[in-house]
Amino acid sequence: MYRDRIRRIRRGMRAVGASHLLTAAPEHIRYLTGFRGEDSAAVVSGGAIAVITDARYSEEAGERVEKLRKEGVRARLVMRGRKGLAATAAEAVKGRSPVLGVEERRITAATWKALGKLLRGKGKVKAADGIIREERAVKDGWELRTMRKAVRIAEKAIEDVRGGIRPGLTERRIAMMLHAAMVHYGADGPSFPTIVAAGAGSSRPHYETSDRRVKKGEPVLIDWGARTEGYGSDLTRVFFAGRMKPPAGRAYAVLLEAREAAIKAVRPGVAAGEVDAAARRAIESAGYGGRFTHALGHGLGLEVHEAPLIGAGSREKLQEGVVFTIEPGIYVPGRWGLRLEDDFAITAGGRTARLGSLPLEPEWAVTGE
């Protein structure tokens, strides 16, 4: 698995004229090696990879390097010691007139400057953003199976918690219940801090969960996900304690229409912005123009938000193997907000597959008194 990933990264390096590629992004290092240590780096070169870390992670990194070697990867462990990242990375760059590609969004200006000085006269440094990011956007079979598992865990957890959502319960208590349920079903933990937004708080897409208590008849928006083996899920549902009031019921029906319009627009080769536009048209035609205030979705994997962005005007092309969210929302500031979010993949043959099976019917959204 890792050997194939490194081989594909090498193709991207050749395309930009880089003989070596330096990454310090934890998710990129994990993608290429399986190593999970922080404050580390990796240098890819000619089918080989050097894992750079310090004494805190020597045992874990050493084990990963040995596993990589058994898989046929030319891997080595480089201990940083008291040297900085730039000096250690420069020593890992070999060959005549090497060109070190650097992910400039992940490397500090000081490190970039130091690398230039260290390689002066022997090689050069150039920007090489996007190579690993673009490769990670297309999931292999193991990744897709792992993400389906993360979705199943998150769905089992909400099924357990749903029946306990009732007036008087605090947002924080609901979030804690979800966290415990996800771990019970096999998650390493949540994909991100769970959002539980009751009442007027639900009008804020990235609300911060508080000790506010749920009141009868108000929406309780829950945005949650489970993480397993590094990969996360990302789901959103809205529940109503006791009853769903008519204004929210109408908006809920519109979100279902927008969701279906977006799903129908998904196909290999389509610009992500076209999928966003399909959902946005449905919301605007129902009279909620300006109430959908964020992108329709985003890629999902080792990061909760990764390529591709499914937003207004996005020209990124969807392709077979991408995993992404579709999450239309309607928000009335200071009053209420609704959002429905599921995770999807474009599978073999260009089919759009939902990774889970959580109910969407408005009746299911109404919980106990």
In this structure, what CATH number is given to the domain that contains residue 183? 3.90.230.10
- Determine the average pLDDT of the residues in 137-156: 97
Element (H, E) at 69: helix 58-70
SS3 content of the chain, % helix, strand, coil (to 5): 40, 25, 35
* Claim to verify: residue 244 and residue 346 sit in the same structural domain: yes
The pLDDT of residue 270 is 97
Q: What is the pLDDT of residues 173-218, one digit of tens each?
A: 999 999 999 999 999 999 999 999 999 999 999 999 999 999 998 9
Burial grade of 203 (CB within 10 A; 0-12, 13-18, 19 or more): buried
pLDDT band of 219, cuts 50, 70, 90: very high
In this structure, what CATH number is given to the domain that contains residue 111? 3.40.350.10
Residue 243, pLDDT above cutoff 90: no
* Claim to verify: residue 211 and residue 336 sit in the same structural domain: yes
- Determine the average pLDDT of the residues in 15-24: 94
Give me the domain span that covers residue 300: 141-367
* Claim to verify: residue 30 and residue 105 sit in the same structural domain: yes
- Determine the average pLDDT of the residues in 222-243: 96
Asked if 202 and 238 count as a contact pair (C-beta separation under 8 A), the reply is yes
Residue 47, pLDDT above cutoff 90: no
The pLDDT of residue 320 is 96
Residue 351, pLDDT above cutoff 70: yes
Q: What is the pLDDT of residues 58-106, one digit of tens each?
A: 999 999 999 999 999 999 999 987 888 899 999 888 878 899 999 877 7
Domain boundary among 106, 134, 162: 134
Name the E strands within the chain: 20-23, 41-45, 48-53, 74-79, 99-102, 124-127, 189-190, 195-198, 219-224, 226-228, 231-232, 235-241, 297-299, 306-310, 323-326, 329-332, 336-339, 342-346, 352-354, 366-367
Q: Report CA 167 to chain centroid distance, whole Å.
A: 32
Total-model pTM: 0.93
Dihedral in degrees, nearest 10, Cα atoms 271, 273, 279, 281: -110
* Claim to verify: residue 202 and residue 318 sit in the same structural domain: yes
Token couple for 5: 């990933």
